[in-house]
Amino acid sequence: MTHHFFLTPRALFVLVADDRKQNTEFDYWFRIINLLGRETEEEKVRVLVVLNEINHASVSNFDIGKYRRDYPGLYIQTWEVDFSVKDGRSDGLSTKVEEMLCHLSHVGDPLPRLWVSIREELIERRMQEPHISLRQFAEICTGKGLKREEDQRYLSRYLHRLGVMLHYQDDLKLDDFVILRPQWAVDAVYSVLKDDRVAKNRGRFTEEDLRGFWVGYSAEERSRLLSLMLKDKFEICFPSPGYGEYIAPHLLPSVRPDYDWDSGKAMKFRFQYAFMPKGLISRLIVRLSEDIAGEGTLVWKEGVVIEREECRAQIVQRKTVKEGLEVLEVEIIGPERERKFLLRQVISEVEKIHEKSFRHIAFEKMIPCNCEYCKGMKAQPFSSTSQLQQYEREGWDQIDCRNGKLKKVLVKGLLEGVFETDRSSLHSRIKALIGEGKVDEALQSLGSKFPG
């Protein structure tokens, strides 16, 4: 879940295959590099695969042609070594790395001279201390001639994006916490998640536990590291209803809690992925944690039930039985107008995760068939939203039932079965504005639609 803090764009990725069991997981790593290692679709990502032959026994039959075909956006090269002997092959590895680094797209781009000297001082400074205050960062910048606060903050954002340091300017608790050594923060988080006591306690830990995990850290450091783990940052844990206790969703049990649920009465929707990165459902659980039903008990490793007003939503990560596709399945029970409003909020949270952490992720929004035959079925056939909208734009009023039945289904009926009409959309907007205390703005919206 912390991959996107060190799998940054504009980098050279080196994959070292050094596993005698040949469990190299190349497929996973190429997918995650392809997803996180680029800023734009056009950008080429350079990857060096180092094949370590232990005592001249190859650990992997690496098919470079296959991966080059599967990932045209990656520039893949290989280098064979045997680290168990000194045969000269490993001596050329550093030269190969330097050669590939020199061909990264941004190498040679002009940067302000002040930025280079500031970065060099920050790198020297992190040898002595893992973090500094915003005032200290400003003093370093000012001492090098970068005096305006807006210029200093712009440089901070640039270095944060490159992974040179971490600085969350948009968070008041973390704005004064400039992390010069990102690995220091990652190691602190891992020390909690890897602790056997947290795993045995099903992902639960207390602030008292943190004092034991983070020996040698000040109270202020512990508070800020905990803030990094919460919503809107690393999205690794959330506060439980018990005071001073926190839960890491990915360490929860996989067994679904026992509760009543009638899928036949639920409105259904799903996000469908060609590749779902690890931790996506955990991040979503953290974002929705304030509304977990059953007083915070209806949550498990692969799913959660949330409750808002008169509706309940069940969100589960799973693989479809027939196709083996990875999906986030959303089912909502409650009054029709209210459940559409809740669905829109869930979709918004998932899309925020995509935008923040997985900007180039490929997915489809899927809507189930609601014809008389399919409605209420446990395994309804789904159609992609983008395809239905394309049908609508091209004037197709009806399409065939996705279950292979000789039955026509209204395209508009499928879309309106999940998404709001103009009137219900207005209702949701007014409701949201009133909930935020913006009554005057809500009245203006109503007046613009129905003058007088």
The amino acid occupying position 271 is F
112 CB-near residues (< 8 Å, 6+ apart): none
Give mean pLDDT, residues 169-173.
86
Q: pLDDT class for 425, splitting at 50, 70, 90?
A: very low
Q: pLDDT band for position 451 (50/70/90)?
A: very low
Task: Decide whether 3-102 matches 113-179 in CATH topology.
Answer: no
- Among 262, 351, 236, 249, which Cα is nearest to 292's? 249
Q: What is the pLDDT of residue 256?
A: 95
Question: Token pair for residue 316?
Answer: 């589960």
Average pLDDT over the chain reads 84
CATH number of 113-179, picked from 3.40.50.300, 1.10.10.10, 1.10.10.60, 1.10.630.10 = 1.10.10.10
The pLDDT value given to residue 420: 57
Q: Which of 1-10, 130-139, 252-261, 379-388 has the lowest mean pLDDT?
A: 1-10
| β-sheet bridge partners, residue 317 | 328
List C-alpha distances in Å: 197 to 123, 186, 221, 249, 286.
35, 19, 22, 15, 21
Contact call for residues 266 and 333 (beta carbons, < 8 A): yes
The mean pLDDT value for 172-186 works out to 91
- The Cα–Cα gap between 18 and 54 comes to 8
Mean pLDDT of the 283-303 span: 95
Of 3.30.450.40, 2.60.40.10, 3.40.50.720, 1.10.10.2200, which CATH number belongs to 182-251? Answer: 1.10.10.2200
Longest CA–CA span in the chain (Å) reads 87
pLDDT of 206 higher than 60: yes
Taken as a whole, the chain contains a residue count of: 452
The residues pairing with 178 across neighbouring beta strands, listed in sequence order, are 132
The stretch 394-418 carries a mean pLDDT of 67
Q: Please report the pLDDT score of residue 422 as a whole number.
A: 46
The tokens for 69 are 């075909």
Report the distance separating Cα 136 and Cα 131, nearest Å.
10
> Is it true that domain 253-361 has CATH number 3.40.50.20?
no
Domain segments of the chain: what residues?
3-102, 113-179, 182-251, 253-361
- CA proximity to 358, closest of 273, 293, 268: 273
The CATH topology of domain 3-102 is Rossmann fold (3.40.50)
Task: Please tell me the pTM assigned to this model.
Answer: 0.78
pLDDT at 204 exceeding the cut of 80: yes
pLDDT digits (tens, 9 = 90+) for 253-282: 999 999 999 988 888 899 999 888 888 999
**Predicted pLDDT at 85:** 79
Dihedral sign from CA coordinates of 356, 157, 48, 187: negative
Q: At what angle do helices 149-162 and 113-125 cross, to 10 degrees?
A: 60
Which range, of 68-82, 235-249, 385-399, 407-421, averages the lowest pLDDT? 407-421
pLDDT at 423 over 50: no
pLDDT in tens, 100-137: 999 888 888 888 889 999 999 999 999 999 999 999 99
> What are 427-445's pLDDT values in tens digits?
555 666 676 666 666 666 5
Out of 86-90, 158-162, 324-328, least confident range:
86-90
C-alpha dihedral (121, 124, 129, 133), degrees to nearest 10: 10
Residue 220 pLDDT greater than 90, yes or no: yes
